[in-house]
Chain A
Amino acid sequence: MSTVTESAATADSPVPHGDSPRRKRRPRLRRHDRAGVLVYAILVLVTAVSAFPFYWSIVAATRSDTEINSVPPPFLPGGGSMGNFEAAADKANIGKALINSTIVSGTVALGTVLACTLAGFAFAKLRFRGRGALLSFTVATMMIPPQLGVIPLYMMMAKLGWANQLQAVIMPTLVTAFGVFFMRQYLAEALPDELIEAGRVDGASYTRIFFSIVLPAARPAMAVLGLLTFMTAWNDFFWPIIALSQDNPTVQVAINSLGGGYVPDQSVILAGTVLGTLPVLLVFGLLGRQIVGGIMQGAVKG
């Protein structure tokens, strides 16, 4: 159980991290809360449905097209014809796409975490004219669909000479209103005012305070925001397929070309999606509980 998730479980604890008073809380739970066989059965079924498409794409990627189109379909991975992966990588430029997506998602995650922690700290702890209005404005813009700005963005990128360049995908997503809101919510609770006041009394500048007090305190939330942003950037589809071409694709652009081109071979298509999805699944597998905690935490306080 991650500490972040635990804090959501005990939402009334003032500090969203640190040691959980789980043992003390137990007796307060309702007695009939214990799950029965039926609950487990349904959850296992849901888990299977969630995971099946991944499993199937691995099965299909390691078999020939004839095999996966047979009746009944195969349910186990085959002898592993590397040919599918090679064909997919060949067809869709997946090698370059993986490098590009790593650069894009990494930069976007770093930028978002940095800019949003700065802004989140200011909104949470500093008093300044226009704070309330600016914050409400930021939150309100979370409703705006990204599609709305795509046309001018496309024109801007053409003017800047960034068409088909990675910065065309990086720059527009480098900050998010959600990130500011997320960091603000976290810092408002996790960072005691006294700590900042003590820093001020000791004569530290705000920059100093930010680096030596705020950043360490914000680290758990920064990690979660970074993960969420990385995943969102990795999976972003709409803007990259407009801004980039097949010569310089992100993973999603590459996958798109697998579906759109004349590749009748299902097994090759699925091999491509496996290659393109694997890295983010790896991240998710390793850090899934933190991501879950982050989503639950954002939800309670949102």
Chain B
Amino acid sequence: MAVMSPAKLLTRRQLWRRRGSKAAPYAFIAPFFVFFAAFGLFPLIYTGYVSLHRVRLQNPDDMTWVGFDNYTTLLKDEFFWNSLRNTFTIGVISTVPQLCLALGLAHLLNYRLRGRTFFRVAILLPYATSVAAATLVFAGLFGRDYGMLNWFLGHFGIDPIDWFNDKWPSQIAISTIVTWRWTGYNALIYLAAMQAIPHERYEAAMLDGANRWHQFRHVTLPGLRPTILFTIVVSTIGALQIFGEPLLLQGGTTGMNGGASRQYQTTGLYMYQSGWQYFSLGKAAAIAWLLFLLIVLVVGTNAVIARQRAKRAAVAAGASETSVTKG
């Protein structure tokens, strides 16, 4: 017995280990998936369920089934459409300049530079601030009577602009905050992608007599295409969720309304107002799901466009390749 038992123990341990090695990968991914399922996936699906009910914030357990009522009401809700329009315009005037600026900035950072780490860190600095802090600082700068921006514009003979109450100025103000915070981040992503473009392509272009602009257009931009698409998708998703900037631009009830006449109320903000000011959680959940559908739609459209462009690009690249070998 005394001789047998160690051997038996060993085999048992080996057996256990073999089984353990099969289970090990699942044990490793388990912590992530457990938390993710509980606090990510379940709420996502449950939001859909909530959206089919009448639920008040004061008593969330009391749910009355109403089917698609929340959705049909929303589609007739002028404020909802207003919020969608605002989300769209604010999204466009923040995303487009932001990505164009980021592209230009990345190009500059890609030069051989002294102190390039300094510049990279400096342009990322805004990324380190929060929505809340950035918005409050900018709100002061945008003040109509004492704001520094109007004081500055005054030197160029521009009359004070009401950055809070006029529709376009207020939307531009919000977009400025978004652009300020995210341009550097996107520039670094572009820069990384630029540095991954093989130098041979530039050399080939130079041999063909391409100047710097031609190189940018015909080598850099095509090389960045997947990255640009990625940033467009990410920024679009971000833009559809803009919430903190409009809420805090003026703060208080005006902030919750998205301006005195809802001139900059985004859909994210309207969802928050519906749930946490008007206590209508069912309606808020329906807004959340419509927003989600919108994101899926936008991302899907992007993917389709990208695939078609990639196909076309592949054909074009094939053509240019043959021309290069011929030349």
Mostly, the B contact residues are helix
Return chain B residues, CB-CB under 8 Å to A14: none
**Which residues B128-160 have CB closer than 8 A to chain A?**
128-141, 143, 145-146, 148, 151
- Closest 5 pairs (CB-CB, A-B): A149-B43, A235-B130, A35-B111, A288-B121, A122-B28
Contact A152 B292, beta carbon cutoff 8 Å: no
Binds B, one of A76-84, A215-223, A254-262: A254-262
Residue contact A238 to B244, C-beta cutoff 8 Å: yes
Asked whether, in the complex, the Cβ of A175 is within 8 Å of the Cβ of B35, the reply is: yes
Measured as residues with beta carbon below 8 angstroms from the partner, the interface class of chain B is 35 or more
Contact: B35 with A43, CB < 8 Å? no
| A172 contacts B188, C-beta separation under 8 Å | no
Interface residues of A (CB under 8 A from B): 1-2, 5, 8-12, 28-30, 32-35, 39-40, 42-43, 46-47, 49-51, 53-54, 56-57, 60, 68-69, 71-73, 114-116, 118-119, 121-123, 126-128, 131, 134, 138, 141, 143-156, 158, 171-175, 177, 180, 205-207, 210, 231, 234-238, 242, 251-252, 255-256, 258-261, 266, 269-270, 272-273, 276-277, 280-281, 283-284, 288-289, 291-292, 295-297, 299-300, 302
Report A48 CB to chain B, min CB distance, Å: 9
* B209 CB contacts on chain A under 8 angstroms: none
Whether B140 pairs with A151 at a CB distance below 8 angstroms is no
Known contacts A53-B138, A122-B28; A148 and B289 CB within 8 A of each other: yes
Which residue of B29, B38, B124, B192 contacts A123 across the interface (Cβ within 8 Å)? Answer: B29
Q: In the complex, which residue of chain A has the Cβ closest to the Cβ of B38?
A: A171
Chain B, residue nearest A291 (CB): B124
CB neighbors of A among B6-58 (8 A): 17, 20-22, 24-26, 28-29, 31-33, 35-36, 38-44, 46-47, 50
Does B173 belong to the interface (CB within 8 Å)?
no
Give which listed residue, B25, B195, B240, contacts A126 with CB less than 8 A: B25
The answer to whether A71 touches B136, judged by C-beta atoms less than 8 angstroms apart, is no
Please tell me if B99 contacts chain A, counting CB pairs below 8 Å.
no
- Tell me if B137 and A295 are in contact (CB < 8 A): no
Given contacts A47-B119, A237-B132, contact A174 B35 (CB under 8 A): yes
Are A299 and B133 in contact, with the CB atoms below 8 A?
no
Q: Does the CB pair B191–A296 fall under 8 Å?
A: yes
Interface residues of A, dominant DSSP: helix
Docked-complex contact B184 and A11, CB < 8 angstroms: no
Please measure, in the bound complex, the distance between the C-alpha atom of A35 and the C-alpha atom of B111, giving whole angstroms: 5
B interface with A by C-beta (< 8 Å): 17, 20-22, 24-26, 28-29, 31-33, 35-36, 38-44, 46-47, 50, 60, 105, 108-114, 117, 119-141, 143, 145-146, 148, 151, 180, 184-185, 188-189, 191-193, 195-196, 199, 202-203, 206, 212, 227, 230, 233, 237, 240-241, 243-244, 248, 251-252, 255, 268, 271-272, 275-276, 281, 284-285, 288-289, 291-292, 295-296, 299
Give the residue among B47, B50, B185, B255 with the most A Cβ atoms within 10 A. Answer: B47
- Do B44 and A144 touch (CB < 8 A)? yes
Flag if A255 contacts B288 (CB, 8 Å).
Answer: no
Using CB atoms, name the residue of chain B closest to A203.
B17
* Minimum C-beta distance from A5 to chain B (A): 7
Would you call A145 and B20 a contact (CB within 8 A)?
Answer: no
Q: Are A297 and B136 in contact (CB under 8 A)?
A: no
State the Cβ distance, B251 to closest chain A Cβ, in Å.
4
List residues of chain B with CB within 8 A of the CB of A251: 130
Please determine whether B137 and A156 come into contact, CB atoms closer than 8 angstroms.
Answer: no
